[in-house]
């Protein structure tokens, strides 16, 4: 942990790679002391090393019912209550509805919906008391539309967008904003896993599989992690922006 000198605190979940890493570096560059959490200590330490400002590495499994409380309590004790919370941790699974197991269904709900809910429930009181706070959930365009073979993932992302909208309505006069950023296919390890799944199931090459995903977006390329981080930053900076699901997908879903 590096020393913090009165900077506002931002908590980023899933901060070890991909979008979470980009968001952590961006907020650090913006003057926030960043608390970084994911399951991998090694990845978090690598991210902390490239953040220009103070950073705190707090490994955690947010699917554990007590994890959100323990995580935020430690940040409050060592620094102060987070002013910004970016709930980015998430995962996907691909299967047809009839082949989706109870375990896969529950995994998607636990990580993509229940974990953000617990984090919001734990961090909102201090934000309300301070009359200022910014909550951003990294959802997906799957929160807006349905696609085949990702029913559990889609259900969890639709659910978390509902959570964002309800929380934003509750907090509209409190100084606390709640938004979702909804990326399409982003150039991340999660998309690499999707590519590999297409390869395994169809026999296509990795290059062909990646081209299929790129073609789903009108600009025919993957979104970059930095483009998603800029959308998160807009939610942090703009106090009139709340209750929104902001699509970052090259124009695929117009809403």
| Residues classed as catalytic | 153
Smallest Cα–Cα separation from 235: which of 102, 169, 137, 155?
Answer: 137
Under 8 Å between Cβ of 249 and 223? yes
Smallest Cα–Cα separation from 180: which of 201, 162, 155?
Answer: 162
Smallest Cα–Cα separation from 234: which of 15, 46, 75, 30?
Answer: 30
Q: How far is it, in rounded angstroms, from Cα 191 to Cα 106?
A: 21
Instruction: For residue 97, give the DSSP letter.
Output: G
Smallest Cα–Cα separation from 85: which of 50, 38, 127, 40?
Answer: 127
Q: How far is it, in rounded angstroms, from Cα 47 to Cα 21?
A: 6
Q: How far is it, in rounded angstroms, from Cα 238 to Cα 103?
A: 39
């Amino acid at each position: 942990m590096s020393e913090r000198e009165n900077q506002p605190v931002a908590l980023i979940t899933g901060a070890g790679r991909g979008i979470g890493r980009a968001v952590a570096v961006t907020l650090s560059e913006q003057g926030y002391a960043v608390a970084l959490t994911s399951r991998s200590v090694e990845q978090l330490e690598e991210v902390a090393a490239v953040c220009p400002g103070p950073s705190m590495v707090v490994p955690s499994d947010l699917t554990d019912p007590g994890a959100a409380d323990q995580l935020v309590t430690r940040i409050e004790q060592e620094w102060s209550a987070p002013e910004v919370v970016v709930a980015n941790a998430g995962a996907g699974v691909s299967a047809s509805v009839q082949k989706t197991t109870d375990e896969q269904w529950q995994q998607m709900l636990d990580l993509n919906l229940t974990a953000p809910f617990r984090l919001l429930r734990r961090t909102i009181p201090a934000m309300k008391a301070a009359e200022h706070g910014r909550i951003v959930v990294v959802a997906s365009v799957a929160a807006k539309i349905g696609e085949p073979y990702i029913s559990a993932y889609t259900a969890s992302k639709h659910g978390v967008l509902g959570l964002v909208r309800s929380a934003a309505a509750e907090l509209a006069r409190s100084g606390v904003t709640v938004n979702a950023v909804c990326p399409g296919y982003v150039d991340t390890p999660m998309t690499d896993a999707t590519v590999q799944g297409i390869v395994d199931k169809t026999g296509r090459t990795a290059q062909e599989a990646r081209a299929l995903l790129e073609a789903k977006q009108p600009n025919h390329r993957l979104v970059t992690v930095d483009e998603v981080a800029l959308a998160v930053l807009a939610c942090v900076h703009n106090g009139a922006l709340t209750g929104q699901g902001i699509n970052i997908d090259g124009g695929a879903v117009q809403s």
